[in-house]
Structure 1
C-alpha cells in the first residue's frame, strides 16, 4: 500500500505560497498499473518526486511498505563526475544488489553505451544519460516502478527495447506512469488516478479515468 496522510505541498513565490496539495489524504491501491492524469500544473511531477523521496512535503507524510523506484530514466541520481560503470556500481550497492559485477554488466549491455560506459557522465549527450539511468533502474527488482515519459528516451531502437522491458516488468511488478501519450498508457496501465485542484480520484477502469481527464 501507499498511503498519503495529511499531505501539504507548496512552493513559495512572489505572490505567496502556491499550493499543489493541501491536507491531502489518499490511498493508492496496490496491485494496479496506474496512469497518472492531470492538466499541466496539476502536480503530476511533484507527486512523483514526493513518492520517490527526492522531495519532501511541507506537512504530512507518505507511508508505504513497498520498494518504490526513483522516477525511471530521470538522471537526478546519476553523478556527472563518475563514469557510467562507477554510477552503476554505486547504484547497485545502495540498492542491496549482491552480485555487483553481474548487475554492472547488465546495465552496460542494456544501455548500449559501449566504450563510453567508462567515460564520465559529464561527457555524455542528453540522450545517453537517461539511457544509463533507465538501464540502472531495470536492473533492480522494485515492487513499483515510477515511470515518467520514459519511452521517449533514446532513438527508435532503444525506445522499442525500453517498451519491451517495461512490458515484462509490468507483469511481475506494478507501474505508476505519467505520459501524454494515451496509447502508451493504454498499453501499460489498467487504471488511473486523475489529479485536479489538489485532489486525487482513482478509477479502477482506465477508460473512465481518461474520459474524466479529457472532460476537465
Structure 2
C-alpha cells in the first residue's frame, strides 16, 4: 500500500510561491490499476516524483509499504558520464539482479546498438528515454509509476513498451498519469482527476473521464 497524508507541494517562482498539490490524502492498494488524469501543468509528474521519493513534499508525507519504481523512463535515474551498459550494471548491483542478465535485457530492449557502450551524454533525448525505460523494466517492483505512456521513440518501439508494461502491470500495482483518457482506459480499471491541486478518486472509470473532460 502507498498512503499520501495531507501532501502539499509548492515551488518558489519569480512571481512568488506556486502551489502545485494541496492537501492530498488517499491510498493506493496492492494490485490496483489507477489512472491519474490531469491537464498539462496540473502537477501529475510532480505527484509521481513525490510518490517515488525523487523529491520531497513541502509538507505532509508519503508512506510506502511496497517497493515502488522510479517513474518509468525517468532520465534522472541514470548517470550521464558512464555508458548505458555501466548504468545497467549499476542498477543490477543496487537491486541485487544478475549482472549479465540485466545488461543483456537492457541492451536488447533499448535497441541502442553501439551506443549502448558509449557515455549517456552522447545520446539523443529519444535514446535516453529508451535506456531509462529499459532500466526501469529490468527490475521487478510491486508498484510501477508511469508518466504519460509512452512517448519513447518510433511507433514500433512505443508499442513494444506498451506490451512490456501490460505484462508487468498484470501482476503489479500501476499508477499511470496522463492527459489522454484513451491511455488511461487501456491500462487502468479506475481513475482519479488532478485539478487545481486536488486529487479526486473515482471507482467508475467512465465517470472520471467525463469529469476530467468537463473540467
TM range (shorter): over 0.9
Aligned equivalent of 1:36: 36
Alpha-carbon distance between aligned partners in 2 of 1:47 and 1:192, rounded to the nearest angstrom: 15
Give the structure-1-normalised TM-score.
0.94
CA RMSD of aligned residues (A): 1.4
Alpha-carbon distance between aligned partners in 1 of 2:214 and 2:29, rounded to the nearest angstrom: 24
Cα shift at 1:203: 1.1
Matched, 1:81 2:81: yes
Contact kept in structure 1, 2:40 and 2:179, CA below 8 Å: no
Question: How has the CA–CA distance of structure 1 residues 123 and 180 changed in structure 2, closer, same or farther, with 3 Å as cutoff?
Answer: same
Contact kept in structure 2, 1:73 and 1:150, CA below 8 Å: no
Q: Which residues in structure 2 correspond to 1:32-181 (within 5 Å)?
A: 32-97=32-97, 99-181=98-180
Aligned equivalent of 1:3: 3
Aligned equivalent of 1:207: 206
Contact kept in structure 1, 2:44 and 2:178, CA below 8 Å: no
Cα shift at 1:73: 0.9
Between the two proteins, the alignment pairs up a number of residues equal to: 215
Aligned equivalent of 1:193: 192
Alpha-carbon distance between aligned partners in 2 of 1:28 and 1:93, rounded to the nearest angstrom: 29
Structure 1 unmatched ranges of 5 or more: none
Structure 2 unmatched ranges of 5 or more: none
Alpha-carbon distance between aligned partners in 2 of 1:119 and 1:152, rounded to the nearest angstrom: 23
Q: Deviation per CA, 1:57-116, whole angstroms, max 9, x where unpaired?
A: 11111001111110101211111110000011111212222x121111111111111221
Cα shift at 1:165: 0.6
Say which is worse superposed, 52-61 or 179-188, in terms of deviation: 179-188
Alpha-carbon distance between aligned partners in 1 of 2:146 and 2:24, rounded to the nearest angstrom: 22
Cα shift at 1:8: 1.9
Contact kept in structure 1, 2:8 and 2:60, CA below 8 Å: yes
Contact kept in structure 1, 2:31 and 2:171, CA below 8 Å: no
